[in-house]
Amino acid sequence: MPSFGTLRTPVGVIGVVSSGAAITQVTWRSTAPVGADAGPDALLDEAIAQLREYFDGERRDFDLPIDLGAQTDATRAVLTALFETVASGDTVTYGELAVRSGTTIPARGIGAIMGANPVPLIVPCHRVVAGDGLGGYSGGEPGQGLETKRWLLEHEGALPTSLF
C-alpha cells in the first residue's frame, strides 16, 4: 500500500507518494490518492526531509529512488535525460532536451512529457524552458504555473530575482 505525506512550501502544499521502495508521485495537492495511507515509511520521511531542505536552500538536487511508472520508452528516455543532465541552477530548452534524450520527439512533444512528469521537482521539469522565454508549467497551485516555475528557477539561481 502506498504511503502519502505533505509539505507546506512557498509554492503551495506538496503531496508525496511512496511505494516504500521508490517515490512514485509528487503533486501540488494535499489530499491523499485513493488507497494511500499515512503509515510509517522511511523513504517517504526521507523524501519530505529532502524537499524541505531544498525549499530551505540547503539542498540543490535529490538523492531518492524514483519510479516513473508505466511510460513509453521515449518518455522514459526524456525524463531520464532531464534527471541525469540538468543540475540545479541550469536550464535546458525543450529542443536541447530532445537532443539529449536521443529521441526523435519534437520540442512540443517534450513539453507534453514535462506536463505528465509524475515526480516534478525530483525530476526537474521546471528547468526546461522555451528558446524565447519560460515556456509553460503545469505545476503549482491552480492558475499559478508560471509564477511557480519562475519562483523555482529564481530559488535555484537560474533566473535573476524578479523586481515585482
What stretch of H or E contains 15? strand 12-18
Distance of CA 155 to the CA centre of its chain: 14
Say whether 80 sits in a helix, a strand or coil.
helix
For the question of residue 115 being annotated catalytic, the response is: no
> Cell 509564477 maps to which residue?
147
Q: Give φ, ψ of 48 to 5 degrees.
A: -60, -40
Closest listed residue to residue 11, CA positions, set 138, 160, 147, 157: 147
Which residue of the set 125, 129, 152, 153 is catalytic?
A: 125
Residues carrying an active site annotation = 125
